[in-house]
Structure 1
Amino acid sequence: MVKYEVTVSTGNLVGATTFNNIFIKLVGTDGESERKWLKSIKGAASFIMGTVSSFTVSCPLSIGQLVLIELDKQPLPLFPEDSWFSAKVVVKSPEGFTYNFPIYRWITDGEVHRFREGTALTVFVDNHHLGRYSRQQELKQREHDYRWDVYVEGIPHCIKAETPLSLPCEVRFSFTKTTEFLYTASTGLTELQLKGLANSKKNWTNIEDLRRVFCFKQTDISDYVQEHWKDDDFFGYQFLNGTNPLLIRRCATLPNNFPVTDNMVFLHSQCNLADEMKKGNIFLCDFKRLDGVTANTINGKKQYLMAPLVLFHKTPDDKLMPIAIQLKQTPAVDNPIFFPTDSEYDWLMAKIFVRSADFSEHQLNVHLLRTHLLAEVFAVSLLRNVPMVHPLYKLLIPHTRYTLQINHLARLLLISKTGVFTQFAASGGEGMMTILKRSLSSVTYSSLCIPEDIAERGLEAVPNFYYRDDGLKLWDIIHRFVQGVLSYYYKSDAEVQQDSELQKWILDIYEHGFLSQASTGIPQKFTTVVELVKFVTMVIFTGSAQHSAVNTGQYDYGGWMPNTPISLQLPPPTTKGTTSEATMLQTFPDVGTTVQGMATMWLLSKQSSDFVPLGHYSEDHFNETIPCNLIKDFQGELEVLSVAIKVRNKSLEVPYTYLDPSVVENSVAI
């Protein structure tokens, strides 16, 4: 008889414990063991949360190199079936070889579950018939578990699930995450001391009332926003380093529908637009995606959503200053162009309408579509088409954590017919889907890759653009890591081309994420290692860094409502000289709408205690030395960047922290 030493680790998660009987079968190249009941002197405590237990499996002869293991769980008589989270199994063979089997899965039923040895294998090198069979069976089951659904025609497809509990166990929130999320969601108004105001339909009558409400929950940046929200230089700064750094671009030619002239913006100045444009000092934000969108009705009252054009000038002291605002796309007598030289409230109201438009552009295009919905597509396609033993699965699975459930909750609580966004945002309801569809049709592959996006928008030399500076460094670090890992497994372009699982992954993304729109530039297949590395870099960057950049600062910049109104109750002025503080207060969203917006942004900005920062992998999916060393190098580079960002931020009036790797989560998890 030969003996195999089997060590089983139960995950350190709430609910991971099982008191059911656990059985194992070892399958090798030369045979297999009997199905063995795993018993030890620990008895029922062998599979308690966080426990590592050892067992012996005997075979008449060596079964050769281990290919896979089979695990199943059976309840004791009169005992209920429970769930077990198995972390990993390690088997030491009589020949002295150690085989690692990464699992990290919930086993909830009495079925047999097969797990491959941890060495990553692409389909073209997985030659053992049992290995190939288990691969096929796994994907067959995953296609059943992870089905595509169409939430609304014209936007990316999503996972089919009726409730969060109908999602597969492996992608659900942990107990900790569930508890914290539900607590914050249900007590958000209370945490902000706003509960008594949530249903108020009254208008704000003075700015001091707003300050008293706001003072219950403040951050360093939200305090700064309250103090400086009227300042032109801060207004410009937010388009570089606020929650939406994706709209602004260098302006080389004025749009035909924005008839700004020199004497409008450079009165008594030596400057002129043509020269300043040639020097690269003129910038534009064009909210044309919002043009003609039907605004919401809130509490029976029609709301207003503009599609502004905003012109900026980079001054000699490196400030980005707004110099002209047109609130509607079509020039007209009743659509004046506003300037800093106008009366205080004419100019301020124009900026307020821009900030409100930016809220809708940010939330629906930049945040929801370009991070949440795309990350879900990347994840569902991975889980449907790529088995656990594949190197791509091992590389990307940590970057899918909680994404499917947070998106399901967003569809349930935010953008459904009764969702907070639908009820309280100017772009909620019919307008929301119009904007999402327009946004998807305008997404390009290059715009999802920050080096190309910055170049296309002509922003390489803009000063004080910390999103660009930190984002490009993060992209490069992620790219080096991805290149190292994938180049280890794909030695030639031909190997990429013949990997059928890889090709199904990208085709599913093209069809279900980008609705087969060739104009997006999204590849339908991979032909080179270089193409593959770039795309996977984009996938990781989108779900980690990009999401952090557009999500984490929501309360910082939106908690003080006048800086980011989620809706506006009056139309913009059609003639100058008709606005006042009273007009502004009447235009702001009512009290209830304001506090609902504050509570939602508080929830979406709040980090959970089981947050996992970028590059930290609590699950050991890779076994091989080179990928494991690459992970260590990746973590080291991220730490160096984190330190550099912290040092830089000490000298900034408004620190830019959202792309500090220590606060960037591995995945879209909130």
Structure 2
Amino acid sequence: MFGIFDRDTSQKIKGTLVLMPKNVLDFNSVSSVKKKGVLDVAGDVIEAAGSLLGGIVDGATAFLGRNVSIRLISATKKDGNGHGLVGKEVFLEKHIPTLPTLGARQDAFSIYFDWDADFGIPGAFYIRNYMQAHEFFLVSVTFDDIPNHESVQFVCNSWVYNFKSYKKDRIFFSNDIYLPSQTPAPLVYYRQEELQNLRGDGTGQRKDWERIYDYDVYNDLGNPDENVNLARPVLGGSSTHPYPRRVRSGRKPTAKDPKSEKPGALYVPRDENFGHLKSSDFLTYGIKSLSQDVIPLFKSVIFDLNFTPNEFDSFDEVRDLFEGGIELPTNVLSKISPLPVLKEIFRTDGEQVLKFPPPHVIKVSKSAWMTDEEFGREMIAGVNPCVIRLLKEFPPKSTLDTTLYGDQTSTIKKEHLEINLGGLTVEKAVNDQRLFILDYHDAFIPYLNKINKNAKAYATRTILFLKDDGTLKPLAIELSLPHPSGLQYGAESKVILPSDQGVDSTIWLLSKAHVIVNDSCYHQLMSHWLNTHAVVEPFIIATNRHLSVLHPINRLLDPHFRDTININSLARAALINADGIIEQTFLPGPSSVEMSSAAYKNWVFTDQALPADLIKRGLAVEDSSSPHGLRLVIEDYPYAVDGLEIWDAIKIWVQDYVSLYYPTDEVVQKDTELQTWWKEIIEKGHGDLRDKPWWPKMQSLQDLIQSCSIIIWTASALHAAVNFGQYPYGGYILNRPTLSRRLIPEKGTPHYDEMVKNPQKAYLRTITPKFQTLIDLSVIEILSRHASDEIYLGERDSKFWTSDSRALQAFKKFGNKLAKIEGTIKERNNDSSLKNRYGPVQLPYTILQPSGEDGLAFRGIPNSISI
């Protein structure tokens, strides 16, 4: 049957194959850094860079000869088994070094096929790599001269290892889109075979080169074999500690806890690794560097060498981190200097200083962060703008189980508030929707006894008043501790009122700091990690397991999953692991991720839609006459105002796209891949919440549109809103401390006397000390940066992502809409009547502008959770 490929056939078709060789600068693997150390890897990089740059052409020739082959698969003609015809094996023939469209380090090759009309149109191909130790990244394959047919594009973007690494040959499909029932009959077998390959069999330890997606619980955060204090509970698989699932690695269990995996090399499906020469590689490499090399350097500078004390003694000394820097001993500098990524982070510039870029929040005013107006504004325009809610009942009540925690009702009284309500009663202010609350009481009270063994913290409630000018004025802060006789007896609380004079003003500033410590930790663990990173990973796993690359929903969602599994694995290895960066520098310490598990109990998928979230928090009411069908209770709410524009644009794009392939609800119901995908997301990916009634049934077009819109919103705009403001606001530790070490001093104590004599010192001794500050700033600067090759909302990494011109037109419409939204946001930021757009710190709310630029841009919505 392969006679059509004999050399005497008159017609040939030419293909152009684009690939990238394995790059010596591709140091993504966590395991490689763990095995060799950052300094050693950096040495390898520097040593190899010269030979790499000098040998591009020589390296390309390695792929010629009989080293890489392709076999075409017909989309229109079947073999005797009913499968698409498979052509003869053909090898790369010619290197094309000057193709003008190639990106950095991409090589193009010609490949020729004898062709006959009896073979039909290729819809897929098998590829084999015969080189033993030279995997490569296959970018694309294009066939331009198929008779009586337009070009066929294959957008591949996948690693290809030696063929013996795979049980089945690697297969790639063209950029056509088909529902399962509409798949050309010759391709049905191959479509199903590839999905089975991606699912694997659920056994064994995964290997570096594999592309298998399977689920597991979070059982790899602790290290009980090393130290009993490093044991951590398994998150997921129980009602006690529910959690979203992660990608399964299959490592061996620890000796002391057979339910937990041993630390070690983290498996990431190979195509989920970062690409070549990406600046995001360097950013994430910086996180690895921090955990393994830089933190020990900080410790040696501060503790071992006693070169600098671990306390700031004045606010000016904190500002010196950005204005003058910290001088470093020569031996410490010598360890940083060889590493370009660390020089970039720490701005050494050849001088013996450790210097950070100035955070945006103090670029205009060094003291405006201290104002009550800025304190309130950052709840609706800061890095965590999605927690504040309308106060609907007074006094505020708790949802904690009274049999375990007693009466946790707030002790804030009407007289505490009415002295600052300008003649309004509390009842009137509540009825007029002018009172709001930032409530972290229930999140922290159950954990405070554990937390306060090493720290000194409160559970906080803050009540704010919406003034006539649209700004928020804090009225009272409640600071609560567990009752000394036991949690079942409720809380002991004190209420602090605003003051701008004397020692009371210092107590008020300290109280606001305790609120912000609560907010910083809740933000990092819940708003950021849990509600974006962790909850999205199950959707990525299920999509790869059950939606073919030919499926329209795979093609819709795939850009919004870029790099997320990889960054999440890095977080488990260096950020949220036992004694990792988060535990070292954030208030909850060893209870950090366990607290996020408690919050996950109340996570609701449908409430992640921005309109539903705003309505649930009482920040919006349905109003058909208002834009977006909602009336905002706080009209000048930058996150909500800009966010609703982005949400609507996403939803309209999803509706336009999805409607191309699903004209009726019945088509949704009969899509076998889609139904299996959704069922597995609920029953496995988010299996601990499988019985919740709020899951969409996926029986209608609207179910599909809403669900996909939520996934895209969460992975793009929501993550951008809670991530890229971390350094602009939190880089100034006085504004967003992450630790509290002292309670409010009582009269008659030395700490009270110190507070009276030296308010700045009292504040600094309460919040994050110098060592943890250096770590905090180093981490959040990396997390707040955009990569130079970031792909933003409304963009794709290839213009050939689909062959469907209708989808391309709808996507162009989406991009145009986002460009208009960007212009509108800029106009709002120039409106002086909108005080919450800038605030006292003169920092415009730009974080939801769709387009961005590399570095600490404080604007731009990447497609995915890529950092």
TM-score normalized with structure 2 length: 0.71
Q: Check the 8 A contact 2:17/2:111 in 1, yes or no.
A: no
Instruction: Report the secondary structure of 1:568's partner residue.
Output: coil
Number of the residue aligned with 2:814: 634
Q: Aligned runs of 1:274-285 on 2, under 5 Å? A: 274-285=427-438
Partner residue, 2:493? 335
2:50 is aligned to none
Structure 1 residue 272 displacement after superposition? 1.1
Counterpart position of 1:411: 572
Q: Cα 1:165–1:427, aligned 2, differ >3 Å: closer, same or farther?
A: closer
Partner of 1:86: 139
1:511-540 Cα shifts (integer Å, max 9, x gaps): 344334257555264100111011101101
Change (3 A) 1:261 1:224: farther
1:68 corresponding residue in structure 2: 124
**1:291 counterpart (445, 454, 478):** 445
Which residue identity is paired with 1:452? A
8 Å Cα contact 1:250/1:284 also seen in 2: yes
The equivalent of 1:102 in structure 2 is 155
Change (3 A) 1:615 1:572: same
Describe how 1:348-387 pairs up with structure 2 within 5 A: 348-387=509-548
**Equivalent residue letter for 2:820:** V
Alpha-carbon shift at residue 49 of structure 1 (Å): 4.3
How many residues are paired up? Answer: 662
CA distance in 2, matches of 1:198, 1:87: 51
- Across the aligned residues of Structure 1 and Structure 2, the Cα RMSD in angstroms comes to 3.0
CA contact (8 A) 1:478 1:537 kept: yes
Partner of 1:490: 662
**Structure 1 counterpart SS, 2:718:** helix
Using the TM superposition, name which of 401-410 and 19-28 deviates more.
19-28
CA distance in 1, matches of 2:281, 2:362: 27
Equivalent of 1:439 in 596, 599, 620: 599
Q: Which digits, 9 at most, give the CA deviation of each residue in 1:353-400, with x for residues without a partner?
A: 000000111011100000011121221111122111111111111111
Name the CA shift for 1:324/1:158 in 2 (closer, same or farther; >3 Å): same
Among 119, 129, 150, the residue aligned to 2:217: 150
The answer to whether residue 616 in structure 2 is matched with residue 456 in structure 1 is yes
Task: Give, in whole Å, the separation in 1 of the partners of 2:605 and 2:271.
Answer: 30
Q: 2:273 is aligned with what amino acid? A: R
Question: Equivalents in 1 of 2:572, 2:491: separation in Å?
Answer: 41
Deviations along 1:87-131, whole A, 9 cap, x unmatched? 233354223343322322221222522222322111122251x41
Is the Cα–Cα contact under 8 Å of residues 296 and 425 in structure 1 kept in the other structure? no
Alignment of 1:619-630 (within 5 A): 619=798, 620-630=800-810
Which residue type is aligned with residue 172 of structure 2?
Answer: F
Give the letter for the 1:181 counterpart.
T
**Relative to structure 2, which stretch is displaced further, 159-168 or 347-356?**
159-168
TM-superposed CA distance for 1:417, in Å, is 1.4
Q: Which moved more, 1:11-20 or 1:266-275?
A: 11-20
209-218 or 390-399: which moved more? 209-218
Amino acid at match of 1:30: K
Q: Which amino acid aligns with 2:764?
A: L
- Structure 1 counterpart of 2:170, which letter? H
Alignment of 1:239-278 (within 5 A): 239-254=379-394, 255-256=396-397, 257-267=409-419, 269-278=422-431
Structure 2 counterpart of 1:568: 740
Among candidates 220, 229, 237, match of residue 360 of structure 2:
220
1:229 aligns with: 369
Counterpart in 1 of 2:795? 616
Evaluate the alpha carbon distance shift between residue 392 and residue 371 of structure 1 in structure 2; reply closer, same or farther with a 3 A threshold. same
Question: Structure 1's 486 and 43: CA in aligned 2 closer, same or farther, altered over 3 A?
Answer: closer
The SS at the match of 2:385 is coil
Q: Which blocks of at least 5 consecutive residues in structure 2 are unaligned?
A: 1-8, 27-58, 79-84, 201-211, 219-233, 236-241, 252-263, 324-354, 398-408, 484-489, 620-631, 832-837, 852-859
Find the residue that maps to 2:363 and give its secondary structure: helix
SS of structure 1 residue aligned to 2:703? helix
How far the C-alpha of 1:295 sits from its partner, in A, is: 6.5
Pair 201,327 (structure 1): closer, same or farther in 2 beyond 3 Å: farther
Secondary structure in structure 1 of the residue aligned to 2:155: strand
Give, in angstroms, the shift of residue 350 of structure 1: 0.9
How much has 1:622 moved relative to structure 2? 1.1
One-letter code aligned to 1:571: L
Could you tell me which residue of structure 2 aligns to residue 113 of structure 1? 170
1:7 corresponds, among 9, 15, 39, to 15
Structural mapping, 1:388-399, within 5 Å: 388-399=549-560
Q: Give distance in 2, aligned partners of 1:637 and 1:539.
A: 19
On the 8 A contact 2:288/2:574 being kept in 1, the answer is: no
Q: Deviations over 1:312-343 (max 9, x none)?
A: 00112221011011012779995211111481
In the alignment, is the contact (CA less than 8 A) between 2:19 and 2:108 conserved in 1?
no
Deviation at 1:601, TM superposition (A): 1.2
TM-score normalised by length of structure 1: 0.91
Please, which runs of 5 or more residues in structure 1 have no aligned partner? none
CA contact under 8 A between 2:244 and 2:688: conserved in structure 1? Answer: no
Tell me the amino acid that sits aligned with residue 192 of structure 2: Q
- For 1:10, what is the secondary structure of its paired residue? strand
- Between the aligned partners of 1:107 and 1:377, the Cα distance in structure 2 is 25
Instruction: Please give the secondary structure, in 1, of the residue aligned with 2:180.
Output: coil
2-structure distance, mates of 1:195, 1:219: 24
Change (3 A) 1:280 1:367: same
Distance 1:463 1:452, change over 3 A: same
8 Å CA contact 1:638–1:661 kept in 2: the answer is yes
- After superposition, the Cα gap between the structure-2 partners of 1:273 and 1:639, relative to the gap in structure 1 and judged at 3 Å, is same
Task: Look up the equivalent residue of 1:248 and give its one-letter code.
Answer: I
Identity %: 23
Q: Which moved more, 1:118-127 or 1:518-527?
A: 518-527
The answer as to whether partners of 2:286 and 2:782 remain within 8 angstroms in 1 is no
Structure 2 distance, partners of 1:6, 1:528, is 44
1:407-459 Cα distance to aligned partner (Å, 9 max, x none) = 00001111111311112211121x21331111101111233110111122221
Q: 1:293: Cα distance to partner? A: 0.9
| Distance in 1, Cα, partners of 2:267 & 2:545 | 16
